[in-house]
Structure 1
Amino acid sequence: MFVRSHALADEVLTTHDVFSSDEIRYSASEVPHRDNPVLHSMSAMDPPRHHELRRMVSRAFTPRTVDALTPAIEACADRLIDRLTPASDFVTGFAYPLPISTLAALLGVSDARQADFVRWTETITSFFGQPEARPAFLTAVAELREYLHTVPASEGIVAGLRESGLTADEIVSLAGLLLINGHETTKTLLVNMVLCLAENPAALAAVRADPDLVSSTIEEVLRVRPSVGGTDRFTTRADALGGESFAAGQRVIVSIAAANRDPAVFVDPNTFDVRRSPNPHLSFGHGIHFCLGAHLARRQAVVALRALLARLPGAWAIEDVVTRDSPVGTDVLALRLVWSAARDSRVHT
C-alpha cells in the first residue's frame, strides 16, 4: 500500500497500534537486513519499550545539550569553509564532515578514533541487506560495539546510557540509529539546502537581505526536498485506510515527499517559499517516532546556512552533480558549489 496524501500519511505515522515500526515482528515478508542495528533500535519498536528507551535517550537531545554543542558546530563550519573552493566537492568538503564531527562529539568519540568512526558510519549506513556487503557490515558493528565499551565515563552520551541500564547491544543499536538518522539525513539536508538556494536565486537574495528568514528557509528545504523521501510501517491487523482494505503484516509505504506537496495543505506546493508559514511538513515524522534529533539537525543547518551566507557571497550555482539511486531515494554523492569571485578574506585559496 502506498500513501501520498498528508492526511493519510499523518494517520499512518500517528496510529502506531495499527501501523507498527517493528518490521521484524510484523512483516509478512522475509527481512534480509534484519541484522541492521536500526531494526533493533527504538525507531523500530512499539510501546512500552519504545517509550522506556526514548525517555533514557531524550536527555542527550535537550535544548541545553544542543546549545552546548553549538560553538563546536560553528567552529567546525568555519574550518570547513576555510578549505572550501569552487573546485571542491561540497559533499565531502562540508556536508559530510559537519554532522560527523557533531555526532562524534555527542557520542564521545576521541579525535584519535575519528577515522574509524567515519569508516563505521559509511559501512553501517550503506548496508541494506546485500549479501556481498554483510561481512564488512558485521565487522563494523562488532568494532563499534567494542569501541563503545571503552568510551570514558565522563565523555559523550554513551556513559549516561550505560548508567541508565541499557545493554551493550541496545547502546550499539542506538549508535547505529544515530549514525543513519543523525548523520545521513543531516548531510542530505545540507546538500539539499544549497541545491534549493542555487535553484532559486530570488530566495537566496531574500534570505541574504533578511537573516531572520534562515530558520523558515531550512523548514522549506525540509518540505521541498525531505532528507528521506519516504518511510514504511507494517500492519498489525487487517483494517482499512482511506477506503482501501489491507491485511495483517502488509507493508505501508508513506511518501513524505508527496505528503509535503499536498495541495490540500500547502498553497502553491511546488513553489519554494522561504516565508512559508505555517509549514506542517512531515520530514521529521510525526507521532511517537518524531525524530529525536530534529532540534540538533535544525541547529546544524541554521549554523551552516548562516556561515555559508556570510562567507560565500553573491549568487550560487551547482555543477558536476553525481547521484546514485538507493532503496530510500536518490543520494547526491558529489557536487560543486560555485559562488561569485569576491571571497571573504578569511577563506584560504
Structure 2
Amino acid sequence: MAPTTLPAPRPTLEDGGRRLFAWLRHMRDEHPVHEDEHGVFHVYRHADVLAVCADAGVFSSELHRLRPHSRALTEQILSVTDPPVHRTLRRLVSRAFTPRTIAELEPRITALAGQLLDGIEGEEFDLVEDFAYPLPVIVIAELLGVPAQDRTLFRSWSKRMLSMQVEDPTDLQFGDDAGEEYHRLVREPMQAMHAYLLGHVEDRRKNPGEDLISRLVAAEAGGERLTDRQIAEFGGLLLMAGHISTSLMLANTALCLQDSPQAAARARADRTLIPAVIEEVMRLRPPITVTARVTTRETEIARHAVPAGRMVLASVLSANHDERIFCDPERFDPGREPAQQMAFGHGIHYCLGAPLARLEGRIALEALLDRFADLHITPGARLRHHREGLFGVQNLPLTVRRA
C-alpha cells in the first residue's frame, strides 16, 4: 500500500493542542490508519489502538526487530520485550514493586509535597521547576535507594535524551555505527545512568537494605532471579519514565484546571473528586502520546494491510480523544462516564507505575489546593512545550494567593 498524502502537516502544541486535536479528529475520520513516507503506520482510533496494544504476538514491543544487528535494544528491558521474557521480568519485578510498597509511600509523598511548598517564597513560582519535577524524582530516588540530591544528575540525563530529534522513527541507529548526535544525546547518558545504577545494585548484593533495589535483588520466582543488568534497566526505566510522565501530569493538571474553573472549584470544595480529576487530565493530556510496536507478520488494522516488519505508532492521544468513545472529547470533564483512557497503556505492557503516578497526582493536587486559595498562570508567561511524543510544558510560571 502506497503512503497517502495528508491535507496538512501535523500541528505543534504551541497553542496548547487545539489545532492538533482538530487534526487528530480529521485523521480518525479520514485516515484512521496512515502510512507515512518512512513506511511507518500511524493508528488513530481508540478501538484500533486498543487492538494493537492487546496483541503482543502480532505487534511486538521488541523494536530492535527493525535493526536486527543493533545492540542497545536487545537487552532484557521490560518495556521492549515480548513473552516469554517479558512475562518472567514482570513477574520478578512485581514481587518487589508491589501495591503495598506504593501505598506505604503516601505519608512520605505528603511530607515531601509540604516541604517543597514550604520552600516557595513570594507570590510567584515555576510549578515545574519548584514542585512538579522535584516531587516525583525525589520519591523515585528514595524508593530505589539512591541519593535524592543526585536529581540534578538525573535531570541532565533526561534532558539530553529528550532533546534527540528523529525525523524517521524507524532509523534506530543504536549500534556502533550510530551518529555522533545519537552517541552524545542518548547513548552516553544511558550508559552513565546504567553504570550509576549498576553500582548501587552491586552494593545492595553486599549490603542489602529496605529499598526497592534491595527487594529486586532478592526477588525470586520459580528459581529465577533478576540479573544486575535487568535490575539496573528497570531502575532506569522507573527513574526516567516515572519522573518525566508524572512531572508532565502535574503541570497538565494545573493547565486543565485553569481552563476549567468550574471543575477547579468543585475539586477545591470536595477533595474526593480529585482522583477523577487526575484521570481526566491523563485522558485529555496524556504525557506520553504514542506507543510503538513492530509487526511480526503481515496483518490488517481496520481493513488496512500492514506488512511484516513495519513500525506501528499507535496514538494514545488520539485514542483518548476519540468521539466514538468519549462524548465531547476536547472538554475537560472529571464527571464524565468512565471509559478506558489509554494513558497508562493496555495489555501486557500496562504501566506498572500507574498506581504511583495516581497517588502522587492526588497528593500533589491536594497539597496545592490546601496551600493556595488561588493559583493561575502568570499573565504573559511564555510556555515552552516538549517535543512531539510528549504532551506538556517544560515550564509553568504561576501567580498564587495563599490560603
Same fold (TM over 0.5): yes
CA distance in 2, matches of 1:316, 1:216: 21
Which of 60, 64, 73 aligns to 1:20? It is 60
Cα pair 2:201 2:217 within 8 Å, conserved:
no
CA distance in 2, matches of 1:119, 1:226: 23
CA distance in 2, matches of 1:120, 1:95: 17
Which of 138, 144, 148 aligns to 1:107? It is 144
CA distance in 2, matches of 1:28, 1:113: 34
Aligned-residue offset at 1:180? 2.5
Cα pair 1:199 1:317 within 8 Å, conserved:
no
Which AA in structure 2 matches 1:285? G
Residue equivalent to 2:88: 52
Deviates more, 1:324-333 or 1:258-267: 324-333
CA distance in 2, matches of 1:80, 1:93: 7
Cα pair 2:285 2:391 within 8 Å, conserved:
no
Query: Structure 1 unaligned runs (5+)?
Result: 345-349
Q: 1:321 to 1:63 in 2, by over 3 A?
A: farther
Give runs of aligned pairs for residues 1-349 of structure 1, distance below 5 A.
Answer: 1-24=41-64, 26-27=65-66, 35=72, 40-84=76-120, 85-110=122-147, 113=150, 116-120=153-157, 122=159, 130-133=182-185, 134-151=187-204, 152-164=207-219, 165-314=225-374, 316-319=376-379, 320-339=381-400, 341=401, 343-344=402-403
Total equivalences in the alignment? 338
Which 4+ residue blocks in structure 1 deviate beyond 3 angstroms? 28-31, 110-129, 134-137
Residue equivalent to 2:170: none
Residue equivalent to 1:347: none
Q: 1:21 to 1:217 in 2, by over 3 A?
A: same
What is the aligned-residue identity percentage? 37
Aligned-residue offset at 1:59? 3.1
Q: Deviations over 1:238-268 (max 9, x none)?
A: 1111000011110111111110011111111
Which AA in structure 2 matches 1:289? H
Which AA in structure 1 matches 2:104? A
Deviates more, 1:166-175 or 1:313-322: 313-322
Query: Structure 2 unaligned runs (5+)?
Result: 1-40, 166-173, 175-181, 220-224
Deviates more, 1:111-120 or 1:69-78: 111-120
TM-score by length of 2: 0.78
TM-score by length of 1: 0.89
Match of 1:308, SS state, is helix
CA distance in 1, matches of 2:162, 2:144: 17
Deviates more, 1:110-119 or 1:209-218: 110-119
Match of 1:332, SS state, is coil
Q: 1:65 to 1:139 in 2, by over 3 A?
A: closer
CA distance in 2, matches of 1:163, 1:118: 29
Cα pair 1:127 1:137 within 8 Å, conserved:
no
Q: 1:325 to 1:218 in 2, by over 3 A?
A: closer
CA-atom RMSD, angstroms? Answer: 2.3
Match of 2:258, SS state, is helix
Cα pair 2:141 2:239 within 8 Å, conserved:
no
Deviates more, 1:148-157 or 1:256-265: 148-157
Aligned-residue offset at 1:195? 0.8
CA distance in 2, matches of 1:131, 1:283: 30
Match of 2:397, SS state, is strand
Match of 1:240, SS state, is strand
Cα pair 1:318 1:338 within 8 Å, conserved:
yes
Match of 1:254, SS state, is strand
Q: 1:86 to 1:8 in 2, by over 3 A?
A: farther
Aligned-residue offset at 1:326? 2.6
Aligned-residue offset at 1:167? 1.2
CA distance in 1, matches of 2:68, 2:310: 8
